[in-house]
Amino acid sequence: MRMKKPTMTDDEILQTVQHYDLVDTALCYTLYDVCNGNLLSETTMLNFMCWLNLRPTTPPITVMHGEKTRCCYFIKVISDFLTNTQFRDKWIEMTLKSAGLSQALFHSHVYGAGLDDPEKFQNLQDDIVEAITKASTYKNELKIPLNKLTRSIEKERDKKHHQR
């Protein structure tokens, strides 16, 4: 009989992440320009890094009007680059919650992020890949190879292209 993995509570995860970053500092640094004023309302670099690492933010991170779906996609992609992937599901849940996004929205729209504005979505994908590439040159310790992300993005583009 298969045993269920014990899950940590939100409080236990918050206690744990106070001691180390879930999203590498170099990656936070390069993603800041992708998000600040584009997906998210203007915020400081420190606030953005705190948000990605499940630490308190002041003021709270807010998603720009019309960017909820693309923000969900962003969170999904970045979840593949956590320094400790055992926290992936909880990290997604808690990051969504802290940005005022629901899990229902995430699950229903994360793969339809480019349908409303394909060019804007393409730019987001390109910006994320560029940020991850830069971060990997700053610190070559990201857990998922960049070519896996690129293949994943190309598959999504092909799928969306065939849906039109």
- DSSP β-bridge partners for residue 36: 40
Residue 5 belongs to a domain: no
Mean pLDDT of the chain: 82
> pLDDT tens-digit profile of 109-154?
777 777 788 898 889 999 999 998 888 877 665 554 555 555 565 5
Residue 116 belongs to a domain: yes
> pLDDT tens-digit profile of 5-42?
556 676 766 666 566 788 988 899 999 999 999 999 99
Residue 1 belongs to a domain: no
pTM: 0.77
Q: Which pair of tokens denotes residue 97?
A: 């919650």
Residue 14 belongs to a domain: no
Q: Which domain holds residue 129?
A: 20-163
> pLDDT tens-digit profile of 53-82?
999 999 999 999 999 999 999 999 999 999
**Count of domains for the chain:** 1
